[in-house]
A and B are shown apart, each in its own frame.
Chain A
Amino acid sequence: MPILGILASQITGHLSTNSYESIQTVTVGSTQTSISFSSIPSTYKHLQIRWIARVSPATTDENLQIQVGNGSIDTGTNYSHHGLYGTGSAAVVFGNASVSGANLGRVTGASSSANMFGAGVIDILDYANTNKYKTFRGLSGDDQNGSGLVWFASGSWQNTAAITNIQLNELYGSGGFVANSSFALYGVKG
């Protein structure tokens, strides 16, 4: 049985390595406000996004938000998210219902030292199943040698439609993802 990417590697010797495929990658050349994947085929069981990112606003770090949809992005308040993050001195919890996207990661901003990028992995489970709401999870962080966070979160889209579109946004005012930010979408067969 094919197993979801990051989990699969925990079971050395039982990994079906022909079940994990690259679908599409966006590498930012000049600052762009959001990252979009569209026309995602329904032929996989799960999706995974692996990313590194830095944003242009003058902040040390900021949330990475995911929005999804079928045919277009749902910007309504049909999402929820919950999580736990570490500041380097405290563990902090967060959670919100009825929000317009799920905060699944943490990226560095322009106030951090040059060349520092946040990084993370987002799993989207049963994305093409039309009988259930969709669930996400994210593990990410942006250590900055004295600042930054580690971020562990889950999210949900309260809709049974198959996901064909994904959008990733930075939430700190105007600006966007800077050059060399990169987002790779993978499919895991079932």
Chain B
Amino acid sequence: MASTYTPIATTTLGSAQASYTFSSISGSYTDIILVINGTASATIHCQLQFNSDTNTNYSNTYLLGNGSNALSARDTSLTAMYLDTNGFTVDQSMGVWSIMNYANTTTYKTMVGRYSSSTRSAEAIVGLWRSTAAINSIKVLTTSSTLATGTTLTLYGIAAA
């Protein structure tokens, strides 16, 4: 059987950045996994945009525990999909998000993932991009401020038989 779970691209930020784009993503996988591990210069949210789509085609539903409560919330008709709801901070934060069947052209694209902050929350999150286009670029952007130097962003591909 063929091995899979293939590193596609990775970067370690050499300076603080408000966005990072993975472009020219091959359509040869079934799922894409995005991993971010790092910090921010202030409390920020990270978001995703696909294929440079900046229209209101994104939405999210969240579930989180913050040490005091378990909560759920959602956002609709966004210009970018959230990766977290409680925020990257100056403390270490990380997440793993799967973008499922990203290259098919018959379904909207669903992302499901988990995010953890070392001091703020643990979260499960699902997101929707209302487009049937195959995803060929992924932009990670912040709602304000920047991801800090040393933050790593990695993309993996998983191919089904």
Contacts and interface: CB of A to CB of B under 8 A. Distances in A.
A87 B72 contact: yes
Interface string A3-15: 0011011101001
A121 B36 CA distance: 19
Contacts of A91: 63, 69-72
Interface stretch (A74-82, A135-143, A167-175): A135-143
Contacts of A187: 1
Nearest to A189: B3
A116 B59 CA distance: 12
Contacts of B5: 5, 8-9, 15, 17, 20
Interface string A150-170: 111000000000000000000
B126 A148 contact: yes
A37 B21 CA distance: 37
A54 B156 CA distance: 25
Given A84-B70, A145-B59, A182-B101, A21 B4 contact: yes
Interface in A110-154: 113, 115-121, 139-146, 148-152
Contacts of B69: 91
A9 B96 contact: yes
A66 interface: no
Q: Which 6 A-B pairs have the closest CB atoms?
A: A141-B126, A86-B72, A86-B63, A88-B74, A184-B160, A91-B70
Given A52-B101, A88-B73, A145-B130, 20 more contacts: A9-B156, A10-B35, A12-B35, A17-B3, A18-B3, A21-B1, A24-B161, A50-B30, A50-B31, A54-B107, A86-B61, A86-B63, A91-B71, A116-B108, A143-B110, A143-B128, A146-B76, A148-B126, A149-B61, A150-B62
